[in-house]
Amino acid sequence: MKTIEELKQEVYNHGLNDHIREVFLGVLEDADVASLSPKEREIYDARLKRYRDNRACLDYAIEKGVREGLEKGLEKGQQEEKLRIAKSMKEKNIDSATIAQCTNLTIEQVEAL
């Protein structure tokens, strides 16, 4: 009788497409878990839970970081666009108060351009 590891190696050596290979490996993993003693199964379940908890935390942190990064990037881009528009308006000799009102910049920010 072959071990689970030998069977996994055969799956890799048979040149199966990725989907079929993953199905077979999943079945072999399930069979390997099913053969564990109650104590080994308890350890396996605890490790799996820890892995899933850590993965969920990591996924959340990445998602939150990406979301916050996008928001900061959009805010920065909007601010740069306001400054570009204000500078263009200033070059056309539009008064600072009007520019500030149109761009939601302060008069000080407009005059600093």
Q: Residue 97 contacts by C-beta under 8 Å, 6 or more apart in sequence?
A: 107
pLDDT at 80: 92
pLDDT at 26: 83
| CA separation, residue 72 to residues 1, 82, 85, 111 (Å) | 59, 15, 20, 25
The pLDDT confidence band at residue 41, using thresholds 50, 70 and 90, is confident
pLDDT at 39: 92
| Domain map (residue ranges) of the chain | 1-35
pLDDT at 78: 92
Q: What whole-number distance in Å separates Cα of residue 81 and Cα of residue 76?
A: 9
Q: Kindly state the tokens that stand for 5.
A: 């590891």
Q: Which of 99, 100, 78 is nearest to 89 (CA)?
A: 99
Q: Does the pTM of the predicted model rise above 0.85?
A: no
